[in-house]
Amino acid sequence: MTTVAVVGTDTGVGKTVVTAGLTREFRDRGVDARAIKPAQTGHPPDDDAAFVADACGTDEAATCLRYLEEPLAPRIAAERAGDPLKYEPLLADCRRECDRAPVALLEGVGGLRVPLAGDREVIDLVADLAPVAVVVTRSGLGTLNHTALTVDALERRGVDVRGIVCNEYDGASVAERTNPGELERMTDRPVETVPPLRGSDPAALAEGVRDALPRSFSARLVEKA
The dihedral formed by the CA atoms of 192, 170, 166 and 57, expressed in degrees to the nearest 10: -80
Task: Tell me how far apart the alpha carbons of residues 140 and 16 are, in angstroms, rounded to a whole number.
Answer: 19
Q: Distances in Å between the alpha carbon of 42 and those of 26, 71, 150, 167?
A: 28, 4, 24, 22
CA atoms within 13 A on the CB side of 64: 20
Among residues 15, 37, 86, 224, the one annotated as catalytic is 37
CB 57 within 8 A of CB 203: yes
* Residue 161 bridge partners (DSSP): 133
Task: Tell me how far apart the alpha carbons of residues 115 and 6 are, in angstroms, rounded to a whole number.
Answer: 17
N-terminal to C-terminal alpha carbon distance within the chain = 13
Taking residue 52's Cβ as centre, other Cβ atoms within 10 Å add up to 32
37 classed as catalytic? yes
Q: Which residues are known to be catalytic?
A: 37
